[in-house]
A and B are shown apart, each in its own frame.
Chain A
Amino acid sequence: MSRIGVFICWCGENIARTVDVDALAQEVSKFPGVRCAMNYKYVCSDPGQALVREKIAAEKLDAVVIASCSPHMHLKTFRRAAQLAGLNPYKVEMANIREHCSWVHHDRAKATAKAASLIRLSVEKARLDHELQPIRVPVTRRALVIGGGVAGIQAALDIADAGYEVVMVEREPSIGGKMAGLSETFPTLDCSQCILTPRMVEVGQHPRIKLYSYSEVERVEGYIGNFTITIRQKARYVDISKCTGCGDCWSVCPLKRNKSEFDYGMGVRASIYVPFPQAVPARPVIDAKTCAKIIRNGCGLCEKKCKAGAINFQDTDKLVEEKVGAVVVATGYKLYDIGEKQDKASLAGYGEYGYGQYKDVIDSLQFERLLSASGPTNGVLKRPSDGAEPKNVVFISCVGSRDNAKGLPYCSKICCMYTAKHAMLYKHKVHDGQAHVFYMDIRAGGKGYEEFVRRAIEQDGAKYYRGRVSKITQEDGKLVVRGADTLAGVPITVEADLVVLAAAMRPADGVAELAQKLNVGYDEFGFLLESHPKLRPVETNAAGVFVCGACQAPKDIPESVAQASAAASKVAVTFAADELMREPEIAGINEQTCVACYACLRACPYHAIEQAEVRTPRGVFVKHTARVNPGLCMGCGTCVAVCPSKSADLEGFTEQQIYAMVESLV
């Protein structure tokens, strides 16, 4: 016979207002297996916990049921209390009589009866609870950081400075990400490259950071503490261990008119190139799509010119393996494609703005390159069509953001701020120029942000119109921008020389595939899901995988950096213990009855089930079976549901327990 103690919490008024806790305790004490039942005002408080501990000892309880709030709230609290009193913490059950009962009902008698039923279920479950021990797994104290933008850089440096090794994977030829291409940053107008490139160099030179540039994550195996990562090093055609970065190759390359990816097509580069002068690593890459040697065995001038003998036209992709214990995802964002080509049917593009049709209609990142001192125009503002200095520039915000009809419903958060910055920087470069901004709302929450926008309007004279633009046409060499000023209630037309579209932020290409490799969830827009939006903002539902930066949601540089440091500290916490403890409530397979159909293997969302063999102690093969990897299993129970031979079961939630609970009610 069990000796179960039931503790009914009033939760102040929260439960006691609707549930008759005295009557409930009386009724519950008659349930089979219940040794004692009592109620208390706040069981979670110190004296409440003391009462639980005291009763465990005095009544020699072998299981405890706490009837209170959600286990999300206090299961850990009560497990700790039980452990202090010498009871196995997995012999604590909770009955949620607050969210599931008192908060949602009014009728006191009925609510009390329902609370009794909920407690009956938990008592039945507690009767069949086993003593469980947490699973211990060893930990490799080495982290993988995916993405070398400002978030990835911050996370990598923080982890490395804490004393752990870091492997950084960046798919572009250089780290630096979007921030390396920005001109100046709001709200302080410090030069983006001036503050970022020293951090990039630190990454490149850090003794504990191993950088894989021009590489992608191919495969992820293992689990928290023990990941094996396969990295694809894309063919670079340049041996960066031999290369000195002298620049002879790109100066001799005859194919200099390729559109530069780093300049978003605003500038040109050779077929062998470094994306920008401050690149890390400062080593070139050959663009196989345009190189004459690779396409048709022509040219080859760079190879002849290279004194270091670093050019290798026979280079191929290479796969390398790295072992790590934690992963930080910092893959960043891309802009909404304003043109006609869209990757989702719900995104319709903005044909009315003529992006891709009129050369002088550009997006915000392209404008950053035109403003940047290291950009294709050396920071002199020239419009793309004819190189003239634009005297009237129209900025349109919310292009693709907050637009359910053909864009995305969310706010991209940073556009109000960078558009104000654009208007300001434009005025600083073209003193007799006029900036016009069409906006929906100005969202400038943040330290010094609102003041910054006011400065753009009041000191730099940007004209702000609250309203949308309906159409841009080209007439007599001017871009005629027609829109509405909804505050004045009039339609307005601006003749512009340049139009800048603040396109929405979307997660970078390929993030969904990466998320699937890592078993990390993502939302309908492709942003990675954190485990809890408030309390676990950098953790994911895959243990040991953390997120930071714009891959999680649109955010600006200060927020990305803050989140990156948060992710780094979570990695350091993971690495702090000698062994990792995992909850033991995971699935197990009865290998005697398993028929090796592997329905569970296909159904498991965490890839935690593997094919295995049962052998005698002497190694004689007996049968095939499925086996659960305890490091990967998250205890979801899907395998239990699909197993046709009923060989899978979930510790702490066995089928026997569930049947007992159901039977107690019917």
Chain B
Amino acid sequence: MNIGYYPGCALHGSSDDYEESLRACLRALDVQLQEIDEWICCGATAAHALNQKLSTALPARNLALAERGGFGEMLAPCPMCSMQLIKAQKALAGNEGLRREMSGIVELEVRGTTRVLNLIQVFEQVGLDRLKAALKSPLKSLSAACYYGCLLTRPPDVVEFDDCEQPRSMEAFLTALGAKTVDWSYRTECCGGGMTLASEETVLDLSHKILSNAAAHGANCLVVACPMCHVNLDMKQPDIERRYGVRHGLVIYYLSDVVGMALGLPESALGINRHFVGKA
């Protein structure tokens, strides 16, 4: 399988462990990722709040680049990016006038024909059967809380992925790979996202609640598919523990980490050794 790949700023910066992990994992499953040439910002942070036109034009340029590369499908592992890209793609596909306007602005013809996928959808394309066949070391020791965060399933009419309030798609993979999953309440709560800089307290409070609820329901690790969630739950975990005087000690895995582990890849190849919270 050969698909386009839009890393976005996170996977080339603070979360390059995520990129390392998903590249290693997908390589083992024979999925070739081809990075889009000359990709630019997805427009998620500032543009999205300040300027409607810019917040369509930025993802439109990326979609145009993907179309130029001939990609019918493109992985955008960061849910902020995929939400932005899908929103633009849907708007473009349904509006001739907008297509013309945006093609002018981004100086490339854009049609909105590339389908944007999140990481779970790529694994769904690989299929549970193939994953089970490639299973080398079942994840027997994991009791995982699958954490989708606020954006992976929302807004539901944009991303059209899983049940937006009670998603179950990650659990299906974890169960197939021999892990236990816990039934918990904070699957789709917000971790605080980009509030780290503006109000760290908010991030610590929200992430603390997520970690506490996962632990209370018997989880020994969390599995995420969002770089921002990973930063808040993993890197900030020592700060959370200090602030609230508790010890969570919960390992935060990317979905590709646990799939890679099940396929028999070493933790170092998946970048897991670079996480802040190590094995309990």
Contacts and interface: CB of A to CB of B under 8 A. Distances in A.
B164 A475 contact: no
Interface core residue of B166, B186, B212 (most chain A CB under 10 Å) = B166
27 contacts: A340-B163, A340-B166, A348-B156, A349-B163, A350-B165, A351-B163, A351-B165, A351-B166, A352-B165, A352-B166, A354-B166, A354-B185, A357-B166, A357-B183, A471-B165, A471-B189, A472-B185, A473-B185, A473-B186, A473-B189, A473-B213, A474-B185, A475-B185, A475-B213, A475-B216, A476-B216, A480-B185
Interface string B143-170: 0000000000000100000011110000
A340 to B, nearest CB: 7
Interface in A301-354: 340, 348-352, 354
Contacts of B216: 475-476
B273 to A, nearest CB: 33
A475 B214 CA distance: 10
Contacts of B164: 351
Contacts of B156: 348
Contacts of B185: 354, 472-475, 480
A441 B170 CA distance: 39
Interface in A241-289: none
Interface core residue of B163, B185, B189 (most chain A CB under 10 Å) = B185
A354 B216 CA distance: 18
Contacts of A348: 156
5 interchain residue pairs of minimum CB distance: A351-B165, A473-B185, A351-B166, A352-B165, A474-B185
Interface residues of A, number: 15
Contacts of A351: 163-166
A352 B189 CA distance: 10
Contacts of A480: 185
A593 to B, nearest CB: 52
Given A354-B185, A475-B212, 12 more contacts: A340-B166, A348-B156, A350-B165, A351-B165, A351-B166, A357-B166, A357-B183, A471-B189, A473-B185, A473-B213, A474-B185, A475-B216
A347 to B, nearest CB: 13
Contacts, number: 29
B92 to A, nearest CB: 24
B155 to A, nearest CB: 10
A340 B183 CA distance: 16
Contacts of A475: 185, 212-213, 216
A584 B106 CA distance: 70
Interface in B192-230: 212-213, 216
Interface residues of B, number: 12
Nearest to B217: A474
Nearest to A480: B185
A349 B165 CA distance: 10
Nearest to B167: A351
A140 B165 CA distance: 56
Interface in A433-477: 471-476
A71 B75 CA distance: 65
Contacts of B165: 350-352, 471
A349 B163 CA distance: 10
A472 B163 CA distance: 16
Contacts of B189: 471, 473
A476 B156 CA distance: 30
Nearest to B153: A351
Contacts of A472: 185
Nearest to A351: B165
A349 B164 CA distance: 11
A62 B183 CA distance: 83
A142 to B, nearest CB: 51
Interface in A337-395: 340, 348-352, 354, 357
Nearest to A406: B156
Contacts of B212: 475
A354 B165 CA distance: 9
B208 to A, nearest CB: 12
Contacts of A476: 216
Contacts of A474: 185
A349 B189 CA distance: 18
B81 to A, nearest CB: 25
Nearest to B157: A405
Interface string A88-128: 00000000000000000000000000000000000000000
Nearest to B165: A351
A473 B185 CA distance: 5
Contacts of B183: 357
Nearest to B183: A357
A351 B164 CA distance: 8
A457 B277 CA distance: 50
Contacts of B163: 340, 349, 351
Contacts of B213: 473, 475
A471 B210 CA distance: 14
A472 B165 CA distance: 10
Nearest to B185: A473
Interface in A511-545: none
A351 B216 CA distance: 21
A181 to B, nearest CB: 28
B178 to A, nearest CB: 24
A499 to B, nearest CB: 13
Interface in B116-166: 156, 163-166
Interface in B176-191: 183, 185-186, 189
A348 B156 CA distance: 10
A632 to B, nearest CB: 45
Nearest to B163: A351
B51 to A, nearest CB: 27
Interface core residue of A348, A351, A480 (most chain B CB under 10 Å) = A351
Contacts of B186: 473
A428 B12 CA distance: 62
B215 to A, nearest CB: 11
A1 to B, nearest CB: 63
A471 B165 CA distance: 9
A473 B188 CA distance: 11
B152 to A, nearest CB: 14
A476 B215 CA distance: 11
Interface in A461-501: 471-476, 480
A357 B163 CA distance: 14
Nearest to B168: A340
A348 B183 CA distance: 21
A143 to B, nearest CB: 47
B189 to A, nearest CB: 7
Interface in A51-89: none
Contacts of A357: 166, 183
A349 B166 CA distance: 10
Nearest to A358: B185
Contacts of A354: 166, 185
Contacts of B166: 340, 351-352, 354, 357
A469 to B, nearest CB: 12
A459 B128 CA distance: 59
B150 to A, nearest CB: 11
Contacts of A473: 185-186, 189, 213
Interface string B35-65: 0000000000000000000000000000000
Nearest to A352: B165
B199 to A, nearest CB: 16
Nearest to A339: B166
A69 B183 CA distance: 67
